[in-house]
Every structure is written in structure tokens, then in C-alpha cells.
Chain A
Amino acid sequence: MIELFGVSKHFANETAVDGISLQIKRGELCVLVGTSGCGKSTTLRMINRLIEHDAGEIHLDGQPVRSFNEVALRRRIGYVIQSTGLFPHWTVARNIGLVPRLLKWPKAQISERVEALMQLLGLPLAEFADKYPHQLSGGQAQRVGVARALAADPDILLMDEPFAALDPLTRQGLQREMIELHARLNKTIVFVTHDMDEALTLADRLVVMDQGRIVQQGTPVELLREPATPFVESLLGGLDRGLKEAALIQVKERMLPFGPRLLASERIAETAPLSQALSVMLWHQVERLTVVDAEDIPVGELSLRRLLGVTAA
């Protein structure tokens, strides 16, 4: 658990973070979102003490971060940055094994761990272990960055706009993998981004920041439904909010399990978001879709009325 109590940070004569309080529960994926310069990165970097806070307290599992040795503290916390910061003179395997080596794990254990992580992140050992960072694509490099952060199995992962420099397709792929990883590993993740779609996709809880303060926090749906200020509303896409919300709801939540009716001609996967279902309807100009499972077997039906949430009952 990470707790911030009235934390502030000033640079020269500028206030970067202004008395914020925040609680991030164990296993939560908390996304700090806001425009550039809003203090989200500074907040993140104060947690692993790359930046020291001026006022307030930051606690890690009930202990102030200042009570830890800063180097030991950082080895317990995974850290991923946008430009990856991989060591260009080290191979992929060596980069991933960095923290375990700092912690003086036995050699065999390190290589075992590196192997496991490369597998976890879809980097075939034979192909990538001995490559250098400059031989990797952006997406591959960031996978290595994530693997490196996970190497010593930290409870907490700090991610500072890790996917911002990637092309949209790669970014979406990595976002999906992040969600799976988070579900599987149950780490506490603090994720900083300026991309609201990314924030909505990933977040268990969203924290919107502006000018060093927290403007609003809550689940993505809560924020979409009740934005606290016009700023949050515009950040969430104004009139596009309906589509953004629809992107968060899976088809199977709204579908009607199969009754004795004719199959509709167009199909949609049960795990697809409602926004996609709406798009299919718009495209084919139909009001009914057949919902199929992963094996392409029809399992239900989605009508426009149900999609809109106008329940017959």
C-alpha cells in the first residue's frame, strides 16, 4: 500500500506538486493522468525518491519512505520509463538481470529468473537474449524495460508514460498485455500517462491531476458519469464520453443469452467492448448482432436497445 499525505514539491520558484493526498491499495492499478506539467511524473518519482518531497509524508506499507535507504528502496520498486533507459552496452539478458545482480542473487537463480521473464513478456530466449538494445524495435525494447522492472519481483511497479513513444498498434498490444500481467501478478502499479484512452483502458482507479493538485479520483466509469469539473470533462473527451464509456463495457454484460430466435447476420465477440458493437451496427446498418464466444459459437444476442442499456424490465 502506498499512501501520500499532503505531499508537496517545489522547484526553484515553481510548485510542481501542491499538497496531494492519495491512497493506492495493494494490487491496485492506479493511473495518474493529466496534461504535461501537471505534476504526475514528479509525484511518481517522489515515491521511489528519485525526487525528494519537500512537505508531507509518503508511506510504503505504513513506513515513511524516508526511513528506508534510498538505494535499497528503489531495488524493491520496479521502474519503467518512456525512453526505456536500457543500458546500450549490455545485452537484453544482462539488462533484465540488473536488479537481481545488484541484490547479489546467485548466478543460476538470476539466469533462471531472466529466462522466466523473457517468456512472460513474449521475448523468445534464443532470439533476444544476446541482442543489444539498438537491435530491438520500440515495442520489444519496452518489453525488456518491463521485464527489467519485474526482475526482482517487486511488489510495486512505477511506470512513467511507458508506451507514449510507441505506435498505436504496438501500444494497444502492450496495454492488453499489461492488463493480463496485472491480473496474473497482482502487483501494485502506479502508471502515469497523458493519454486518456490509455488511462481508461488500464485503470482500476483514475487520478486526474492539474497544476499540482488532484482534481478528481475514482473508477473510470465514476469519472465518466460524474466529472467533477469542466476540466475533467474536457479531458475525458466532452461529448465523446459516451463512446469512451462504451469502450469499457464488454458485450457479454449487456447481451441477452440465447432465446429461440433467428441468428442475426453480423457477429460480435462476447469480450468485445460495446463501442465496437455499436460500430458494427452503424457500419452494417443493423439493430441486432449475434454474440459469439472465443470458439465462434453463438452464445447470445445484442440488440440496439440492450446496447443502449434501455432494459425491457
Chain B
Amino acid sequence: MVKPLQGPNWVLLSLILLGVVAWLWLPVISLAPNRIVPGTPYTAFAVSEGGLFLALTSMLTMLMLGVAWLAWRATRKETWLALGTVGVLLALLPLWLAAAAAELAEPDLPQARITLGAAFWLLWFVLLLALIELRTRLGLSRPMGWLLLLPMMACWGLALWLWLEPLALLREYQARSEQFADALIIHLALVGAAVAASLILAIVGVLAMRRCSGLQRPGFAMLNFLQTIPSLALFGLLLAPLAWLGSQVAWLGALGVSGIGWAPAFLALLGYSLLPMVRNLHVALGAVDPAVIEAARGMGMSRRQVLLQARLPLALPVVVEGLRITTIQAIGLTAVAALIGAGGLGTFIFQGLGQAAMDMVLLGALPIIVLALVTDALFGTLSEWLRPGGEL
């Protein structure tokens, strides 16, 4: 599966050159005296005149150009070298940021904040893409790819912990660390509950559909319809009936069921999660090689044994795939649920938007992206591992 490595690696070359251009000519960071005032942008070489800092900046530039050269040569050995260099660059970025923060620090402006500029985001993104490209080109497994990210994460941890106090994002976090923890837990709880409940309902529903095929059409029609309702509209629709339920049924009210809050959020998430879950489960169970089922029955397996020993294990990779899609979708949708007071990381996004504080928006948005990526990686690896004869 490893492609022969010949000729320039155009993907890597264009990626890294894009990164270099951004690094040299776009603002990498900006410095603002406080939370509201827009900051002053700096390109990489404009941050400071200090010899040491310039040396560090030049080194990063050289490394990027080095990657470009390796991409041009692109033999197997050079591809490995490029992979290493990209890894080093990713690890150096937070350290460079820490150095830049130290250079820009002014004692008379203790509230000064550093915001990441377009070039920083772009460069980071480009380097991650380059890492993925090189990983696939070298035929390395997914977990190997995650291993490659470890040095970068370690450096980020170190930098954030020791030196990056002026980073606006960190300041936002420090101002709301307890709120943040709560929001994260609520977010995860909502997603987990909705996905788990939809999985259970999907299993029941799909088994019923398989028993009695007349249910299939109306079942899928209903789920499709549910999926087409915009999320905000669904929250709105749930408002009245749930408010009424909460006020009429005492124990439901005591549980916190009302027109706003976790109840409508949970129900809406559940509704949206059902379609991908049911569809995947249904397809997965139906797609098992009929010869295997025929043989299983012919060998004298009971209905139950066929389901549990043949159909389900063979369908599992596709089911996990469904779980992956559903969970990622739910992580994103839960952000919207903040609008009806369900809490979660979306709270920061909407508050930040209201206060025109972009760093607060990021405080909500970045963890959501990270959660989605981690979910994708976990379930993707699991699904690969579950395939017949699959190994990690």
C-alpha cells in the first residue's frame, strides 16, 4: 500500500510554501493592551530586534525551507526526514510563541494580551496537514500519527503552563476555569446521553424493522423528516410541550424538565442522532455476506447465535462508524443547545459573540473542535481494529 516515492511531493511543497509565505508576510501575533481594544499585529520578524529571538525565528524559517527542499527531492529517506522536521516545527511553534510573548511583554501593561494572528493559525493548520500527508505517504498506521503529535502537545503544555500567561485565550480560561470545567462536563454529558440513548433506541428499532419489514418505510420517513427540521426550530417546537409537562407532572418538574435547559436539548440531540445511528445499524446488519449467514444457519446456529456470533460482530465496524458520525454531529449540535440554556461549551461562543470578545468565542470553539477530532480518531481506530483480521 506504500506508494513508490518518486518525483517532487507537490502536496507537501505547496503546503509548506503557503506556510512560509504566511509566516513572512502575514501577522503572526497581535498585542492588545486589554480585552476590548483591537491589537497591533506583528509579522514574525517584526516582533523584536533581539538577537536570540531573531535567531529562533530564522531557524524556524530555515526548517520550513528545509521541508520544502525535502519535498522537492522526496525519496523515501527524505520523506522520513520531512516528517521529522514537520514534527519539530510543530513542537517549536508554542516555544516560539512563548519567546515572542516574553519579547513583547511590557511591565506597565500587566493586562496586555497576545492574540494569535492569521499566519499562526494558517501555519499550524498547514503543518498538521503536512503531517497527515506524510503519514499516509509513508503508510504509517493511525496510532503512529497520534504518537507523532505527542512532542507538539508536550511543548504546548509546557509553554501554556510556564510562559504563555499573556495569551488572550489563556487569560479568558483563567478568568472562567470553573465555568469552563462545568461547561465541558455538561457538554460531554449531553452528547454521551444522547448518543447512548439513540444507540439503544436504534438497536430496538432496527431489530423491529428487521422482524417486520413494513415498519421500514414509515420509520425512515419519520427520521428523515426529523433530520430536516433546523435545530433552532426544533428547540423552539419543544419549548411549549416541555414547559407544560414540567409544570403538570411534579416529578418531571423536580427533575428539571422545562421549556428550556437540558430537557429540550437532550430530546433534540436524540432526534438528530437517531437517523445516522439507525441507518448505519440497518445497513450494517443487512450488508453481512449472505453466504456467511447461510453457512451459519446450515451449521446449526440458532437465530440468536447467528445474530450474536456472526451478524453483529461482522456489522460492528460499520456500527462503530455510525457511532463516530453521530457523536461528532452531536458534539457540534450541543453548541447550539447553549442558546436555550442547556449550558455546555456553546455558552462561551454565544457570550463571546455578544461581547465581541473573539478569544472567548475561541475558548468555546477550540475545545469543541478538539473533542470532535479526538472522537473521530478514537472511533476510527476502533472501527479499523474491529474489521476482520484487523490489528492496531
Contact = CB atoms under 8 A, between A and B. Distances in A.
A102 interface: yes
Interface string A69-95: 001111110010101111111000000
Given A88-B314, A102-B300, A135 B294 contact: no
A252 interface: no
B312 to A, nearest CB: 10
B388 interface: yes
A74 B295 contact: no
A179 to B, nearest CB: 23
Interface in B242-301: 289, 291-301
Interface string A153-188: 000001000000000000000000000000000000
Interface residues of B, number: 20
Interface in A109-152: 132-135, 145, 148-149
Nearest to B389: A132
A85 B294 CA distance: 7
A99 interface: yes
Contact of B300 (A73, A88, A89, A132): A73
Given A102-B305, A132-B388, A135-B389, A87 B310 contact: yes
B310 A84 contact: no
A85 B296 contact: yes
A88 B293 CA distance: 11
B313 interface: yes
Contacts of A98: 299
B14 interface: no
Contacts of A22: none
A308 interface: no
A86 B314 contact: no
Contact of A81 (B295, B305, B388, B389): B295
B174 interface: no
A81 B300 contact: no
Interface string B52-95: 00000000000000000000000000000000000000000000
B290 to A, nearest CB: 9
Given A71-B301, A134-B388, A84 B289 contact: no
User: Which of B298, B299, B389 has its CB near the most chain A CB atoms (within 10 A)?
Assistant: B299
Given A87-B292, A102-B305, A132-B389, A79 B314 contact: no
B139 to A, nearest CB: 19
Contacts of A48: 298
A50 B295 contact: no
Interface in A215-251: none
Contacts of A74: 297-300
User: Which of A102, A133, A158 has its CB near the most chain B CB atoms (within 10 A)?
Assistant: A102
A98 B305 CA distance: 11
Contact of A99 (B293, B299, B314, B389): B299
Interface string B290-328: 011111111111100100011001100000000000000
A128 to B, nearest CB: 14
B294 A81 contact: yes
B299 A148 contact: yes
Nearest to A72: B300
Contacts of B295: 79, 81, 84-87, 145
Contact of A83 (B291, B296, B305, B310): B291
Contact of B301 (A76, A88, A102): A102
A79 B289 contact: no
B299 A102 contact: yes
A132 B314 CA distance: 14
Contacts of A132: 388-389
Interface string A33-62: 000000000000000101000000000000
B115 to A, nearest CB: 51
A84 B294 CA distance: 10
A84 B310 CA distance: 14
A101 to B, nearest CB: 10
Interface string B374-392: 0000000000000011000
Contacts of B301: 71, 102
Contact of A89 (B293, B297, B305, B314): B314
Interface in B322-347: none
B272 to A, nearest CB: 31
B37 to A, nearest CB: 61
Contacts of A145: 295
A50 B294 contact: yes
B231 to A, nearest CB: 38
Contacts of A85: 289, 291-296, 298
B379 to A, nearest CB: 19
Contacts of A89: 313-314, 388-389
A50 B301 CA distance: 11
Contacts of A75: 299-300
A79 B296 CA distance: 10
Given A73-B300, A102-B301, A148-B299, A84 B313 contact: no
B388 A88 contact: yes
Given A83-B291, A88-B289, A134 B299 contact: no
A35 to B, nearest CB: 22
A89 B310 CA distance: 8
Contact of A79 (B292, B298, B305): B298
A71 B291 contact: no
Contacts of B298: 48, 50, 74, 79, 81, 85, 158
A149 to B, nearest CB: 8
Contacts of A135: 389
Nearest to B309: A87
A73 B305 CA distance: 16
A71 B314 contact: no
Contacts of B289: 83, 85, 88
7 contacts: A84-B295, A85-B298, A87-B295, A88-B292, A89-B314, A98-B299, A148-B299
Given A73-B300, A88-B389, A158-B298, 7 more contacts: A71-B301, A71-B302, A79-B295, A85-B296, A102-B300, A133-B388, A134-B389
Going nearest first, the 3 A-B pairs with the smallest beta carbon separation are: A85-B295, A75-B300, A74-B300
